[in-house]
Structure 1
Amino acid sequence: MTTRPPRVTHAYDGDLVLFLIGVRLHQPWRLGVVRRVLAAMPRMIAELEADRAAAERDGTPGQGFLGARYLLDGGHPTVLQYWRSTEDLYRYAADPDLEHRPAWKAFYGYAASAPSAVTIWHETYAVPAGGHESIYAGPASFGLASLAGSVPVAQRGERARQRMAS
């Protein structure tokens, strides 16, 4: 008799924002531009992770950043970020005292010297509460469940349609 791997779903309830951001290197030999572009994201993620940890410790809402995952798309780095709301994301992006705004301005300054060297891109998806579901079959959760915790699939529904409605 075969044993079925454990199946869980994420424990997150509420609105959710998925923010994908990445870089495509067209001229990797332009080391000055490439190095600066690639160095900016880890600083931003470190800042957001520190804020998230402080918010969890202090019981405050923080910036609204839930976590991030690093991906490779055809060898090009991509970061999948989870946010509580678009307003939280926009507030972070526009704040001149945090890492993003100065990095964004700096990018346009040094990218002007090599406009074809890199492409920075992002996509934002606002997912309303009840508009997301997941399943993880195996010993380790990934994605949203690794950030927000998990519950047995049976608790929210065996089928995707049931989990979406829960």
Structure 2
Amino acid sequence: MITKGRVTATLDGDFVVFMIGFRLNKIWAIHKWLPVFLAMPKMLKELNSNKDLGYLHHEIWFGRTLILVQYWRSKEKLLAYAKNKDAQHLPAWKAFNQSIGSEGSVGIWHETYQATRGTYENIYVNMPSFGLGKAGKLQFVGKGQNNAQQRFEKNE
């Protein structure tokens, strides 16, 4: 459903934006990249089924470089999941290192950003609920929220 007009999103407290993905360096090496590709849906299913892990939401884009943007409650929750021996992540990471490592047919990347009050802003115009708008709460843009500077200040 598209929300007509201008809305902005907030999320109570600090949160983490975690961007992760992979790049097909050798597209024809399907036997190398397919297991990497198939590992992510298992992790997302696990994360979606247990909100205590601190995972909030994700958006995903497909292409030669796959990009997955995740929203987490805290860096501590994100790191705990990454190290959890009973979760899907560690076996997938181990398999990647054993089968690909520095061989080069598939690239893996991630970036992590911690957001606190006053360090983020956003605007959505005529959009369905998306990104931080799905992880947090959407509200129509009101007085004093018309530009990025004002939205930064409102979040302080």
Structure 1 length-normalised TM = 0.83
Which runs of no fewer than 5 residues in structure 1 stay unpaired?
53-61
Q: Partner amino acid for 1:44? A: M
Which residue of structure 1 lines up, in the alignment, with residue 33 of structure 2? Answer: 34
CA distance in 2, matches of 1:156, 1:20: 30
Which residue of structure 1 lines up, in the alignment, with residue 54 of structure 2? Answer: 64
Structure 2 length-normalised TM = 0.88
Q: Partner amino acid for 2:111? A: E
SS in 1 for 2:68: strand
1:38, distance to aligned residue in structure 2 (A): 0.5
Calculate percent identity across the aligned residue pairs. 39
Which residue of structure 2 lines up, in the alignment, with residue 163 of structure 1? Answer: 151
1:83, distance to aligned residue in structure 2 (A): 0.8
Which runs of no fewer than 5 residues in structure 2 stay unpaired?
none
Say what the alpha-carbon RMSD is for the aligned residues: 1.8
For residue 136 of structure 2, the aligned residue among 120, 128, 148 is 148
Which residue of structure 1 lines up, in the alignment, with residue 13 of structure 2? Answer: 14
The answer to whether residue 76 in structure 2 is matched with residue 87 in structure 1 is: yes
Question: How many residues were matched structurally?
Answer: 151
CA distance in 1, matches of 2:72, 2:15: 6
State the 4+ residue runs in structure 1 displaced beyond 4 angstroms.
none
1:141, distance to aligned residue in structure 2 (A): 2.9
1:12, distance to aligned residue in structure 2 (A): 1.4
Matches within 5 A, 1:84-163: 84-112=73-101, 115-154=103-142, 157-163=145-151
**Which is greater in Rg?**
1
1:49-103 superposed Cα distances (whole Å, 9 cap, x missing partner): 1113xxxxxxxxx11111100024x632110011111111100000010000111
SS in 2 for 1:154: coil
1:139-159 superposed Cα distances (whole Å, 9 cap, x missing partner): 523211123230111066222
